Amino acid sequence: MSSEVIGREVKRRRTFAIISHPDAGKSTMTEALALHARMISEAGAVHGKGGRRSTVSDWMEMEKARGISVSSTALQFKYACEATGDDKDFPHVINLVDTPGHSDFSEDTYRVLTAVDAAVMLIDAAKGLEPQTLKLFQVCRHRGIPVITVINKWDRPGQTPLELIDEISERIGLIPTPMFLPVGIAGDFRGLLDRRTGDYVKFTRTAGGAKIAPEELLDADATAQAEGDAWTAAAEESELLSELGQDHDQEMFLAGQTSPMIFTSAMLNFGVRQLLETLVEFAPPPRGRESIDGVAREVTDPFSAVVFKVQAGMDSSHRDRLAYMRIVSGEFERGMVVNHAQTGKPFATKYAQAVFGRDRATVDTAYPGDVVGLVNAMTLAPGDTLYLDPKVQYPPIPSFAPEHFSSLRVTTADKYKQFRKAIDQLDAEGVVQVLRNDIRGDASPVLAAVGPMQFEVVTARMKAEFNVDTIIEPLGYALARRTDEASVAELNRQRGVEVFTRSDGAILALFSDKWRLQYIEKEHKDLHLEPLVAAAD
């Protein structure tokens, strides 16, 4: 495949994630985007009420029961963008990686953010910026990921547009540049003012928001008569923003200084097409990446990819494990034998699939920006690199500092074999960190997590996928530090300390509280005690 063809394929791809605080409407928005791309015939709530199809991204029973996302999923679809004049036979390819909404799963979300080129920051119109959104925005800023801001739930009472714009500017230093402003206050969502054309996009509700909302395009004069004060208010706000310099500037957006903004109701499917058009028109296409030795791998260079997620149990009829890889450079062809940088061994890609939620289809070719699932990839782990010569290895994805620790054991001895297999699988996926030492042995490993809900996922999946009942018992530890072999003997003599080896070979010392850690650091300055990466970093 020539670099010219690869370059052309790269230009039509957009790979992004949605970040938000829980209950901001992320899974509903994911569905709405798929609906507008004609990938599903109607949107359904997470619980599939009224016989409607359940959400394409939340497929775990635990997710459906609680109405939250606890695992990342990937969706790929094609979209012919009107704004860019797409040929319907050569549309844009959208790779949407859905992320867990709950802060307990921020480690999984961080992995996703290593695999995307842009992010949609979804904000509840009534609640404004919330803690989890702030944390994830900081990750985007640190990684240089441009952000598109979406104010969701405008069909419900909430703040004013200018209040939300000011809050974002003041709290995170990101200057919103609305592409569309709402006509009608929060709770009375009538349509959108297109700030570039001055036209009015009027929406019509559908039953339960199950179908794409019909749109009617009106000019300013016709709208002024139809909408009266609501249109006048939106037009005046648009003029004020222009006077303040808050119009879209592509260079400032890509530099992370500004953020295109859109007002939507994912539940009603209002503003969703405008979001898709904004993503296609302004979000950056895939770009090259620096290797671990600082050498850039360009998108037109030979094939390379990074594994950012490993997931099993997506379908009870398939006992396989799927490794999600983000293609960084070159063309991928199913069946090609590539190199696994971490082991130095060849890796065959016979079973490669495009993923839509948990539905799959065989993929024969893919390009930079695409997310491809490799089936039964038992040797792959998050952060691994696959490549064709010349050799390349990308920086690893760090494990976050755990803050919660529990021991896990099986309830009946006859299930011990399945118990060991399940632990190994969940560990390889990165669902939790698994710690072991000689005293506790393999029968009672210690699970380390960023948030306690990760333990619930472990026990639920143990039961659902392996038919293993387990008992989980919280331990009296509050923080961990990386240590070394030379420090282990002294640490084991200390009260309130226990030393373990993590599956990746790292030696971790667990401490009962920060005061115990401070005392030991003061009394034993020769010990190696290194902080781990914090979840909010």
Return binding residues for GTP: 98-102
**Amino acid identity, residue 26?**
K
How far is C-alpha 431 from the chain's CA centre? Answer: 15
Report, in angstroms and rounded to the nearest whole number, the Rg of the chain calculated over CA atoms. 25
Here the tokens at position 167 are 């809050």
- Asked whether 489 and 445 are in contact (CB, 8 A), the reply is no
Q: Tell me which DSSP letter residue 245 carries.
A: T
Residue 511: CA atoms inside 13 Å, Cβ hemisphere, count? 19
What is the rounded distance in angstroms from the CA atom of residue 71 to the CA atom of residue 98?
8
Burial class, 392, CB count within 10 angstroms (exposed 0-12 / middle 13-18 / buried 19+): buried
The C-alpha angle with vertex 319 and arms to 35 and 381, in degrees rounded to 5, equals 85
If we measure between CA atoms, which residue out of 439, 446, 458 comes closest to residue 503? 446
What is the rounded distance in angstroms from the CA atom of residue 6 to the CA atom of residue 288?
13
How far is C-alpha 148 from the chain's CA centre? Answer: 14
Specify the 3-state DSSP secondary structure of 263: strand
Helix axis angle for 272-282 and 26-36, nearest 10°, is 80
Q: How many CB atoms lie within 10 A of CB 136?
A: 28
Here the tokens at position 400 are 């976050």
Q: How far apart, in Å, are the Cα atoms of 386 and each of 333, 334, 389, 428?
A: 13, 14, 10, 17
Burial class, 368, CB count within 10 angstroms (exposed 0-12 / middle 13-18 / buried 19+): buried
Count the residues in the chain: 537
Binding-site residue set: 98-102
The residue whose two tokens read 């054991």 is: 409
List, as one string, the DSSP characters of 360-394. EEE-SEE-TT-EEEEET-TT--TT-EEE-SSP--P
Alpha helices, DSSP H only, in 1-104?
A: 3-11, 26-36, 61-66
Here the tokens at position 31 are 């569905």
- Asked whether 185 and 154 are in contact (CB, 8 A), the reply is no
Question: For residue 255, what are the contacts with CB-CB under 8 A and spacing of at least 6?
Answer: none
What is the rounded distance in angstroms from the CA atom of residue 482 to the CA atom of residue 468?
32
Specify the 3-state DSSP secondary structure of 85: coil
**Strand partners for 407:** 446, 473
Residue 66: CA atoms inside 13 Å, Cβ hemisphere, count? 16
Q: Tell me which DSSP letter residue 424 carries.
A: H
